[in-house]
């Protein structure tokens, strides 16, 4: 069941010249990509993502970590953007100043057409040298895993932010500014448990923005300037964008 759209949110979006959106794994759930706090399946059921996505895990067992990311990379490349991703790319076209901040590393927002995009946690489809940081566009999944950097021979690693690592400072600064300056902030498909992204809705709210939270954890309710919507992003976001397009005509 999807949430009905609160008039206050539609009105705020209609008049907003600056909108920021934060997305998390829930936005890609309808593309078949499991969220982080879902149980892992199959081979990986005995590991938690926290045990695999860290510099310590990579030092301890680089092959295991590489193989987990190789599995996830293949899943992401086989997946397609869903109507929620598409709606956010459309929303970008309706708003004069728009920023999409994602914690997702799956690249699906860009594939759906989003351009004003900050990938706070990196992008799993990209690989870089674990020592020099240089990107590597091709590598062999051969005997030696992780594959060696073609320049220096150090192990390659996924271009993602692991637990215990700093987020890229410029991306974080841009996200913070977007939260401070927007008039409407949408937090979609994220449990809001991982900092610093989890603070962005609060930053926006404390700077006067209207804030809406859409996921499967909340009950639908609203207070002044604060809307909670229980629903699937692949259903609710297309309705939201359709409503805004209708009202524009
Ligand atoms: N539509 C909207 N929301 C959904 C949907 C859906 N179809 N399916 C699930 N959700 C919601 C859940 O209700 C939950 O609130 O998506 C959220 C998923 O939460 P998490 O699995 O915690 O994912 P996320 O918030 O993105 O995790 C943040 O944690 O593990 C790290 O770095 C990783 O970027 C990740 C970060």
- In the chain, the number of structural domains is 2
How sure is the predictor about 248, in pLDDT bands with cuts at 50, 70 and 90?
confident
Kindly report the protein residue whose alpha carbon is nearest to atom 6 of ligand 1.
232
Q: For 10-19, 30-39, 181-190, 239-248, which range has the lowest pLDDT when averaged over its residues?
A: 30-39
Residues 132 and 230 in one domain: no
pTM of the model: 0.94
CB atoms within 10 A of CB 138: 7
How sure is the predictor about 76, in pLDDT bands with cuts at 50, 70 and 90?
very high
Measured in angstroms, how far is the CA atom of residue 26 from the centroid of ligand 1? Answer: 4
Decide: 35 in ligand 1 pocket, CB within 6 A: yes
Residues 102 and 12 in one domain: yes
Is the pLDDT assigned to residue 246 strictly greater than 60? yes
CATH number at residue 139: 3.30.1600.10
Known binder of ligand: residue 232? Answer: no
Question: What would the two tokens of residue 56 be?
Answer: 């310590």
116, 90 contact by CB (below 8 A): no
Decide: 218 in ligand 1 pocket, CB within 6 A: no
Separation of alpha carbons 14 and 144, rounded Å: 54
Which whole number is the average pLDDT over 225-249?
94
214, 231 contact by CB (below 8 A): yes
Residues 42 and 6 in one domain: no
Residues 115 and 155 in one domain: no
CA distances from 11 to 7, 67, 86, 163, 224 (A): 6, 47, 22, 39, 13
Per the annotation, the verdict on 230 as an active-site residue is no
Domain region containing 45: 34-78+124-160
Closest residue by Cα to residue 30 from 84, 103, 88, 93: 84
The pLDDT, as a whole number, for residue 42 is 67
Q: Which of 121, 159, 207, 230 is catalytic?
A: 121
CA distances from 41 to 26, 61, 80, 191 (A): 17, 20, 20, 20
The pLDDT, as a whole number, for residue 51 is 82
Q: What percent of the chain has pLDDT over 90?
A: 86
Kindly report the protein residue whose alpha carbon is nearest to atom 15 of ligand 1.
191
């Amino acid at each position: 069941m999807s949430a009905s759209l609160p008039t206050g949110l539609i009105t705020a979006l209609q008049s907003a010249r600056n909108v920021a959106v934060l997305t998390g794994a829930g936005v890609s759930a309808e593309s078949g990509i499991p969220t982080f706090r879902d149980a892992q399946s199959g081979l990986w059921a005995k590991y938690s993502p926290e045990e695999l996505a860290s510099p310590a895990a990579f030092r301890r067992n680089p092959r295991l970590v590489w193989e987990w990311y190789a599995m996830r990379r293949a899943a992401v490349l086989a997946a397609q953007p869903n109507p929620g991703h598409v709606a956010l790319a459309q929303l970008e076209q309706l708003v004069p100043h728009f920023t999409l901040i994602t914690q997702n590393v799956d690249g699906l927002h860009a594939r759906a057409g989003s351009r004003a995009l900050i990938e706070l946690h990196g992008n799993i489809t990209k690989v870089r040298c674990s020592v020099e940081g240089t990107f590597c566009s091709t590598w062999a999944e051969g005997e030696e895993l992780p594959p060696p950097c073609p320049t220096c021979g150090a192990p390659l690693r996924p271009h993602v932010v692991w637990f215990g690592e700093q987020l890229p400072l410029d991306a974080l600064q841009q996200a913070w500014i977007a939260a401070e300056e927007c008039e409407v902030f949408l937090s979609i498909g994220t449990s809001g448990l991982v900092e610093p992204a989890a603070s962005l809705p609060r930053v926006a709210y404390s700077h006067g923005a209207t804030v809406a939270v859409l996921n499967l954890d909340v009950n639908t309710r609203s207070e002044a300037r604060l809307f909670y919507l229980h629903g699937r992003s692949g259903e609710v976001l297309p309705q939201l964008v359709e409503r805004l397009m209708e009202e524009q005509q």
